[in-house]
Amino acid sequence: MNFVTFDASYVSKLRTGDAPTEQHFITYFSELILLKLRSRLRSPELIDDVKQETFSRALSLIRSEGGLRDAERLGPLVNSICNNVLMEQYRSSNRVEPLEDETAERLVETRPNALTTVISDDTGKLVRHVLNGLNERDRTLLQAVFLEERDKDEVCTELGVDRDYLRVLLHRAKASFRVMYSKQVDAKKSGWVFG
Widest CA span in the chain: 58
CA 163 from chain centre, in angstroms, equals 22
* Cβ atoms of residues 127 and 134 within 8 Å: no
Closest contact distance (angstroms) between CB of 11 and another protein is 13
CA dist 131 and 148 (Å) reads 15
Instruction: Count other Cβ atoms within 10 Å, centred on residue 158.
Output: 14
Q: Looking at beta carbons only, is 29 or 55 nearer to another protein? A: 29
Residue 39 CB contacts under 8 Å (≥ 6 apart), including other chains: 104, 107, 108, 109
Closest separation in Å from C-beta 177 to another protein: 5
- CB nearer to another protein: pick between 12 and 72: 72
CB nearer to another protein: pick between 87 and 195: 87
Closest distance of CB 121 from another protein, Å: 10
| Nearer of residues 46 and 127 to another protein, judged by Cβ | 127
CB 52 within 8 A of CB 76: no
Amino acid at 176: S
Shortest CB 22 distance to another protein, Å: 17
Q: Which residues bind another protein (CB under 8 A)?
A: 1, 3-6, 28-29, 31-32, 35-36, 39, 72-76, 78-80, 83, 100, 102-105, 108, 110, 112-113, 115-116, 119, 123-124, 126-128, 130-131, 142-143, 145-147, 152, 163, 166-168, 170-171, 173-174, 177-178, 181
Closest to another protein by CB, 65 vs 101, is: 101
Cβ atoms of residues 62 and 11 within 8 Å: yes
Residue 79: alpha-carbon gap to chain centroid: 12
Taking the complex as a whole, how short is the minimal distance between the CB of residue 168 and another protein, in angstroms?
8
